[in-house]
Amino acid sequence: MEAFYKVREFNTIRELIDMSAEEFAWRPAFEIKKNNQHYNINYRDYREDLNAFCSAAIYYGLDGGAVGVCSDNRYEYAATYVGTILAGGVIVPTDKELHEDDIVGIFETSEIKFFFCDKKFLSVFNIDRIPDVKVICYDSEAADGGRIMSWEDFMTRGRRLNKVGKELYKTVNHDPEKLCTLLFTSGTMCAQKGVMLCQRNFVSEMKAAMGVLRIYPQDCGISLLPIHHTFESSIILFFAPYCGAKVTFCDGFKYVLRNMKEFNPTIFVAVPMVLEIVHKRIMKQIQAKKNGEAKFRIGKALCKGADKVHIDLKKVFFKEIQEAFGGRMRMIICGGAPIDPQIIKDFDAFGIQVVYGYGLTECAPLAIINHDRCRTTDSIGEPLPGIDIKIVDPDENGAGELCVRGGNVMLGYYKDEEATAEVIDKEGFLHTGDIGYCDKKGRYHITGRRKSVIVTSNGKNIFPEELEYLLDKNAFINASMVEGVGKNEDPTVTAQIYPDYEEIAGFLDKEPTEQEVVALIKKAVEAVNARVPDFKKIRKFIIRTDDFERTTAQKIKRGANTLNKKIAEKKNREKDKKGKKNN
């Protein structure tokens, strides 16, 4: 696919920041809320802050080393991320929800020299476990004048250096092929891999995406997902300055709708779970009104007809919904998991475009997307310009492993040449582990993960994601996880289901009994089984009383929740008991 929007030419993040500071000089790069007061940081001042950060980092001995960071999303985090890259260092953004042992393991593996954090994280983390690391806290009241330096003191040092002509940031050699970002995949340290990204990866992705997606200087993005996710960081740290757009920071998921009314954003990045929750709330409000569903259907039909003659009636019929998002929301960029096509259709009816895409950390992360000229609801879209896709070992339906090649593909896994060779072939294709196919229109569809596929005794493949998607569409099911349990040669297709107890209570108009919950979930499972071939049918289901263990992006951790793991642990405990008795 060729780009249909003009793309600017540049090769490094330094060139990006300098271009933005000149072209969008006095436009706001960030809107900050502090003590309930709002103020803007324009693109010129943002560059000055980044230059101060660079000079301070070099002065204190960064020398191309690594910088760890754990914090809630905030301006200082953004400046640390981009500033470290501009200083010639390696940023290691880390999930603050990980166990302390895992965080320490990441920092030791990446050999960080500096550690930036907020006071909230500092209060629960033992910095004595990283004894030779300089610690900088974003909140000055947490600095102790000794081991812990304040962000303000760090930045003041850089500003003073630049003011007296010791502009150390000018000494950096900006090599687009040099490692600049190290991202560890989710899981315990023994299973984590460090994904190595360089400036070329980010620049390639920016150019490709901006050739098919239009973001304007007047746009305002609200940052909700953790910045350590490449999906979030790519858009707020790189796409926004490319376009001259403004970025704001959400106070947390439970405050997102309140923040939207404060900041009036036009764009935000979300995982499907966030959209599902918001969509469910909207639909409940519609259903609660007299003739609400009928009015909703009529409104959608009229808006669709009006669109054909270029008349926008969405603000007439769905003004209340638009105002809940701040009144200006026009685009939600979504990815990371499957999404119900009906949600995309409904948001489109509200006047909000859902840009649904596909990628993974190893390709920085976007590779395939529903862009401005490809707005499907049942596919992940088309490859970005400059991205090659091949399907390896396709089955009779054309579904095989998706492989990606392009300037966005990672350098490799940190200190692990063997693991790198396993996923990047001799032709430069990254083997994603995702199974998918390409339809007649050149649009791609994901059917499941290679690692999670269930193989039956007669060689048939069952993709759990397909069954989970069908289960999760049921209003009484909050989340599900399907797996093959038992004998490897003849596993039982089993679903763990976490019901939506609130929805069930509303339906029954009372707190449900266990038997009532089981009966409703059983009907849901039967409805799914009626839609799939016999070999794919769910043979057993287990109802959970608590939610699944999840990542910070709200993905279910398959390894941590699998029944096979629990069965194995139970067998090991029984063996230990027998061993103790025999002794």
Distance, in Å, from the CA atom of 391 to the CA atom of 532, rounded to the nearest integer, reads 25
Question: How does pLDDT run across 491-519, given as a tens digit for each residue?
Answer: 899 999 999 999 999 999 999 999 999 99
Q: What is residue 411's predicted lDDT score, i.e. its pLDDT? A: 98
Amino acid identity of residue 259, one-letter, is N
pLDDT at 188 > cutoff 50: no
Q: Report the percentage of the chain scoring pLDDT > 70.
A: 95
Which pLDDT band, with edges at 50, 70 and 90, does 144 fall under?
A: confident
Question: How many CB atoms neighbour CB 476 within 10 A?
Answer: 18
pTM: 0.86
The answer to whether the beta carbons of residues 464 and 561 sit under 8 Å apart is no
DSSP letters, 258-279, are HHHHHH--SEEEE-HHHHHHHH
More confident residue, 287 or 459: 287
Question: How many CB atoms neighbour CB 255 within 10 A?
Answer: 12
User: In the predicted model, what is the mean pLDDT of residues 97-119?
Assistant: 94
The answer to whether the beta carbons of residues 475 and 527 sit under 8 Å apart is no
Distance, in Å, from the CA atom of 116 to the CA atom of 76, rounded to the nearest integer, reads 9
Question: How does pLDDT run across 311-322, given as a tens digit for each residue?
Answer: 888 888 899 899
Residues, the chain, total?
583
Distance, in Å, from the CA atom of 401 to the CA atom of 404, rounded to the nearest integer, reads 10
Q: What is residue 575's predicted lDDT score, i.e. its pLDDT? A: 58
Residue with tokens 């009372």: 510
Q: What is residue 189's predicted lDDT score, i.e. its pLDDT? A: 39
User: In the predicted model, what is the mean pLDDT of residues 192-219?
Assistant: 96
Question: How does pLDDT run across 223-246, given as a tens digit for each residue?
Answer: 999 999 999 999 999 999 999 999
Indicate the average pLDDT of the chain.
91
User: In the predicted model, what is the mean pLDDT of residues 556-580?
Assistant: 69
- DSSP lists the bridge partners of residue 405 as 388
Distance, in Å, from the CA atom of 520 to the CA atom of 84, rounded to the nearest integer, reads 53
Distance, in Å, from the CA atom of 171 to the CA atom of 186, rounded to the nearest integer, reads 35
The structure tokens listed for 272 are: 């499907």
- DSSP lists the bridge partners of residue 90 as 66
User: In the predicted model, what is the mean pLDDT of residues 102-128?
Assistant: 95
**63: number of CA atoms within 13 Å, CB side?**
4
**Domains of the chain, earliest start first:** 13-32+40-263 (3.40.50.12780), 271-449 (3.40.50.12780), 454-575 (3.30.300.30)
Residue with tokens 């990815």: 335
Q: What is residue 329's predicted lDDT score, i.e. its pLDDT? A: 95
Contacts of 119 (CB under 8 A, 6+ apart): 137, 138, 139, 141, 142
Q: What is residue 482's predicted lDDT score, i.e. its pLDDT? A: 94
Question: How many CB atoms neighbour CB 191 within 10 A?
Answer: 10
Distance, in Å, from the CA atom of 232 to the CA atom of 474, rounded to the nearest integer, reads 29
pLDDT at 4 > cutoff 90: yes
Strand order in the sheet with 134-137: 148-150, 134-137, 112-117, 66-70, 90-93, 179-184, 194-198, 412-413
Q: What is residue 187's predicted lDDT score, i.e. its pLDDT? A: 44
Strand locations in 141-249 (E) = 148-150, 179-184, 194-198, 220-223, 246-249
Q: What is residue 35's predicted lDDT score, i.e. its pLDDT? A: 87
The structure tokens listed for 8 are: 């600017």
Closest CA to 179 of 66, 80, 77, 50: 66
Residue with tokens 């993974």: 360
- Cα 517 to Cα 284, 531, 544, 557, distances in angstroms: 20, 22, 11, 24
The answer to whether the beta carbons of residues 542 and 479 sit under 8 Å apart is no
